[in-house]
Structure 1
Amino acid sequence: MQDQPDVVVLRLGHRPGRDERMTTHVGLTARALGADRLVLEEAAAGRKETVTDITDRFGGPFEVEVTDRPLSRVRSWEGSIAHLTMYGQPIQDVEAEVRAAHREEPLLVVVGAEKVPFEIYERADFNVGVTNQPHSEIAALAVFLDRLFEGRELERDWQDAEKRVVPQETGKRVIDTDDE
């Protein structure tokens, strides 16, 4: 998020035909809740277009990359790594430590799609459980980012937006920013 070291979300794994919507929503959640970049595996390359289109229309900055070597990204990461897993330490027990680390260096947030290699658990500085019950990786990412940024992501300024949602008590209103 603006004026802080980067937060990069790595979507590790993607089952074509099964994870299309989930992977897209991981990207949209990462963008909307303060991450700076999303890294997708080659199998999920088609999701890049959707997330980039939303960024183009509703503003950024936010980048999407595709890699054919996601584990290399983890191995070469220079910064802290948080792996979201229901088997991890409760977020409420580690969130202050994660925030302190992020103030000093970039943060890679690993969000798995299928069985995550044990290497991720070993390389992660933080194995974080939003809850120790089965749940959605999208929910875990949303709660994690909100805790990381302490709600500041909800006040974020969006640059170069073509469209803007106008909050209303009822109904829906989206305006072209050229009309403002």
Structure 2
Amino acid sequence: MNDDARARDPRTERRRDPTGAQTEAWKQTLEDMDALARQRRDDGWDVLTVRAAQTDTVSRDTGDPDRFGLVHVVPDNDADEFAETYDEEAFTEYLAYGASIGGYVYLVTELIDPSAERSILIAGRYDLALARGMITAARDEGVLYTHCKTIDGTTLGSFEHEEYEPLLPDS
């Protein structure tokens, strides 16, 4: 594909963010996460905020058929604190806040340990054009997962969402 054809490809244009909508949506997502963190802290909770370096949608077709869902890459500067904070048995609830804008879902996922009043807020963005396999797997299995890992692939933790609709775009 030559440069002229690539420039006219709507997928390429969307990634370039010609209107600035993606930049603004990401900025708003981070502001929302910070506001949620402040609110929780004001209520006496311990809160960890993480800006995912990358969020991928993983279907059953991309390797391990039992590992599908959202995969957040946790930056190295947050990885140790995430690993020390997250306990799969204690974090039993979640909330999701987000919006679909320009073919992407901008999302803050809050993992909640209600008994210890702890929260982990993860800001991420995923491409709807790449999410079909993940959405199909979630609907087939009746569950969706959030996986957090480091850039080198080390798994930091996974969370099972039995009620996964808030993590998906409006259908």
TM-score normalized with structure 2 length: 0.29
Greater length-normalized contact order (CA 8 Å, ≥ 6 residues apart): 1
Pick the structure with more strand per residue.
Answer: 2
Superposition TM-score, scaled by structure 1 size: 0.28
